[in-house]
Structure 1
Amino acid sequence: MACKSIITIGRQYGSGGREIGQKLAEAFGIKCYDNELLDRAAKESGICQELFENHDEKPTNSFLYSLVMDTYSMGYASSALSGMPINHKVFLAQFNAIKDIAKEGPCVMVGRCADYALEAFPNHISVFIYGDLDTRIHRIAKRHEWSASKARDAITKTDKQRASYYNYYTSKKWGDISSYDLCVNSSVLGIDGTVDLIKKFVEEKEERKIPRHLSE
């Protein structure tokens, strides 16, 4: 059965969310957008791509920083945005790119508040991937050849940034079960098992044609 849904994935650092998203997209034969979201937003907005990378899921509240960095924005065209801090311009450009991509058809999107941007889309399914801390520490330490202590610190810092970014720009709370259609502990079934679980969830929801407001 061909996938008809836009699947968004929020994730704790080290939970395998990116890999799960990529494998899920491959299983359905659809595209997966992760860093590609930043590329698309930069291209469509005319804002320097480096700014998207610098602001990626990292809220910047400093007015001075935004004022200085605004000189590098390459003048995001809309006059309505001319007085807006660059971090807000970057978020809005990314927000619009996410909606444009969703209109093109079924896909998987990882992070970047995509679930919030697409909450009004009837064919949207939001997923949050989390994991046991020890499992996440092991995965990050192995990936980067770090000590367990350094991996733990990186997990704490990255999760805090992601939560702050999500909570700052949306009306929901990062990682709160009420914010998503499905929350899965990837430590229980592993990467491939989690992919299979999400795939079955999507297929079941599509087969039953359950409206989003009844599945939440």
Structure 2
Amino acid sequence: MVKIITISREFGSGGRTIGREVAKRLGIPCYDKELIEKIADETGYAKSFIEEEGEHAPNSHKLAYMFMGRGLDGLSNADHIWMAEKKVIEELADKESCVIVGRCADYILKDRTDCLNVFVYADTKFKAERIVKLYGESHLNPEKRLADKDKKRKLNYKYFTEREWGRYNNYHMSLDSGFLGINQAVEMIVNAAGGTK
């Protein structure tokens, strides 16, 4: 039986919205921004720092993590955030049924048999229109914003998991939200979860 649902997603694909709606339909909590507060409590870092650093590489260069400053313990800020993130996600999964959005939760919980891992993606046109509608215009064009954000997510995922972000065999379901629509994607996840509680 499925107890935990993880939602990994491309920027602009609606994964966060889908995760929240799935949780609402199933009557269980959704952890997304709420994870940031828990990780901030665990590490003492500012929430704004964790929001950006916890899911994205420091830049979009493939060697982004090589030149990070490290403390006396040999660990970078990113390493400390990762350890806190892992602890918080594992504790939540042990405690209750929930939906967890992002934060490499699919990898962290990969050995659990009660976890449904979902990846949400969409074509560039759908995502570009969505981010402009949700977040407004920026000095970068929408396509560049999408590419930069996802490249940093991909590098972060690879660094901490040694796996390829978005690769189909890391997930139980991969859904094209642009083709299916948000509501149909929610419906498919709820059905696959089989009445999670």
Q: Distance in 1 between matches of 2:74 and 2:132?
A: 43
Contact 2:128–2:146 under 8 Å retained in 1: yes
Match of 1:22 in 2: 20
- Select 2:69's aligned residue among 66, 69, 80: 66
Q: Distance in 2 between matches of 1:182 and 1:190?
A: 15
Q: Distance in 2 between matches of 1:178 and 1:144?
A: 31
Match of 2:160 in 1: 169
Q: Give the match's secondary structure for 2:55.
A: coil
Q: Runs ≥4 in structure 1, deviation > 4 angstroms?
A: none
Q: Distance in 1 between matches of 2:55 and 2:109?
A: 17
1:44 counterpart = 2:42 = yes
Match of 1:78 in 2: none
Calculate the aligned-residue CA RMSD, in Å: 2.2
What is the correspondence of 1:1-216 to structure 2 with a 5 Å cutoff? Answer: 4-60=2-58, 61=65, 63=67, 65-67=68-70, 82-146=73-137, 150-203=141-194
The one-letter amino acid of 1:118's match is L
Q: Distance in 2 between matches of 1:49 and 1:26?
A: 25
Calculate the TM-score normalised by the size of structure 1. Answer: 0.80
The one-letter amino acid of 2:112's match is F
The alignment covers a number of residue pairs equal to: 190
The structure with the largest helix share of the pair is 1
1:39-71 CA distance string (max 9 Å, x none): 1122133444343134131224254x534xx6x
Q: Distance in 2 between matches of 1:41 and 1:169?
A: 17
Q: Give the match's secondary structure for 1:83.
A: coil
Instruction: Report which structure shows greater RCO (CA 8 Å, sep ≥6).
Output: 2
The one-letter amino acid of 2:56's match is K
Match of 2:62 in 1: none
Contact 2:2–2:115 under 8 Å retained in 1: no
| Larger Rg, first or second structure (1 or 2) | 1
Q: Distance in 1 between matches of 2:106 and 2:29?
A: 16
Unaligned runs of 5+ in 1: 71-80, 207-216
> CA 1:44 to 1:190, structure 2 compared with 1: closer, same or farther past 3 Å?
same
Unaligned runs of 5+ in 2: 59-64
Q: Distance in 2 between matches of 1:53 and 1:194?
A: 26
Q: Distance in 2 between matches of 1:199 and 1:37?
A: 22
